[in-house]
Amino acid sequence: MEDIINTYKNDPESVYHTWFLNNDDRLKAFRSIRKSLAKVIDEIEEGKFGNDFKGSSLETVVTAISEQKQIFEGAAHAFFWKPKLRIPDIYENEANKKAFGRFLKACLNATNEKQVLDEIRELNGYNIKGLGPAVANIIYFLHPTLFPPFNTAIVKGFNLLFSQKIKLGSWPEYLKMREIILFKNQEYRNMLSKDLGAFAGLLFEIGSNRLVIDENAKLVLQNELDKQVKAIARRHKEVEKDMAEENSHSEMQYDLAKLGRALGYKVWIARNDHKRKWNGVSLGELSIKHLELNHVPPAVYGTISLIDVLWLDNGNNIVSGFEVEKSTTIYSGILRLNDLSLSIEKDCRLYLVAPEKREKEIQAQLLRPSFKKAESVPISYILFKDLRCDCDAMCKFGNGLSVLDKISKSV
């Protein structure tokens, strides 16, 4: 087992590195998923949830999960409304919908393991057609040290590694698997993490046949060799794509920092991005070393300090905030900017900065009723191509925030 864990951890393209360990978007997702889940619960309680997955608040939650790299790809499929089968039966059946809402609310507010286990058993007692342990992926983002994710590859890897016959679609089977995972994770606690995502990633790699062990060696050699080669090549392309996206993210932060400084503002780069580089320059070199904000609660300060780029005047007042959204959910970026606007006393300009291919998605998200309320500061957006093209000219000829009006758009 130790050799298997070491092989998993030493593979730079395993989900341990690409998703679990070195992915700031994973950490940001915990907060945005919790906040979005509260909206699902409110809509169910108020009778506003609707009768389809597409366009619902639940779609926002599950999309944020399915965007979490390879391990959660396809997580949304279990929640798609399949009209011919009438599953999952939480859209048309009001009693089931209410039970699902109570379950989500109880799990969101739970403070210990027993409370969540009791809710799982109660939900299972309703026998809601088509609603199985895929919900565990939501619970993971609420209680990551107590409940592991659950999908086909994870179950396959679990069965191979521990010679079990766990089946999909059964809460009792999931709970049995969970007990073994908790026991083994404790046994090898110094090699992995309290967060069960690390262990789930190991099972995912075995189940995907990227990590070969004795139990799946023959299967890989006889039936899966070609698939494995394709999977490795595909993963390599995904990693290369991720690297390209990270580079474009750093490029936009660099351009925004350069522009802000040219306009006479102090610049703050998200505290977890100071070591990123663009054009051989560490982004931290373009940023002030400490973000000093008055009258901001510590919890909100932590969120604001993770906003990709801030411009401040000489009195340390934030005059503009920018969230660069390359591949993560637009919704979470809007939430961070919205939190900023509600937490500071003076008005500031807020911008999403995103690739051209995401323009329609941005427009749709900004038209959500919750972001059109009177107390919300309007959010505009800037496309990568426009910032790239005009940054140097704005640095040379711009003399204030109004220079952004030339390249920003509103809905």
DSSP character string of 30-90: HHHHHHHHHHHHHHHHTT-S-S-STTSHHHHHHHHHHTSTGGGTTTTGGGS-BTTTTBSTT
Best CA proximity match to 210, nearest among 228, 198, 225, 223: 228
Q: How buried is residue 223: exposed, middle or buried, by Cβ count under 10 Å (0-12/13-18/19+)? A: exposed
What's the CA gap between 201 and 14, in Å, rounded? 8
Integer angstrom CA distances of residue 38 from 105, 109, 158, 206, 397: 7, 10, 32, 34, 46
What's the CA gap between 347 and 58, in Å, rounded? 32
Reply yes or no: is the peptide bond before residue 88 cis, omega within 30 of 0: yes
pTM: 0.63
- Could you tell me which residues are beta bridge partners of residue 379? 350
Number of helical H runs and strand E runs in the chain: 16, 8
Can you give the pLDDT at residue 411?
Answer: 81
Can you give the pLDDT at residue 370?
Answer: 67
Can you give the pLDDT at residue 327?
Answer: 62
pLDDT tens, the chain, 411 aa long:
999 999 999 999 999 998 998 777 888 889 889 999 999 999 999 999 989 998 899 999 999 898 887 789 888 999 999 999 999 999 999 999 999 999 999 999 999 999 999 999 999 999 999 999 999 999 999 999 999 999 999 999 999 999 999 999 999 999 999 999 999 999 998 999 999 999 999 999 999 888 888 877 666 666 556 666 777 788 878 777 777 778 889 999 999 999 999 999 999 999 889 999 998 899 999 999 999 887 777 877 888 888 999 999 988 889 999 999 876 678 778 888 888 887 776 778 999 999 998 899 888 888 877 666 656 678 899 999 999 999 999 999 988 899 999 899 988
Can you give the pLDDT at residue 165?
Answer: 94
What's the CA gap between 67 and 56, in Å, rounded? 17
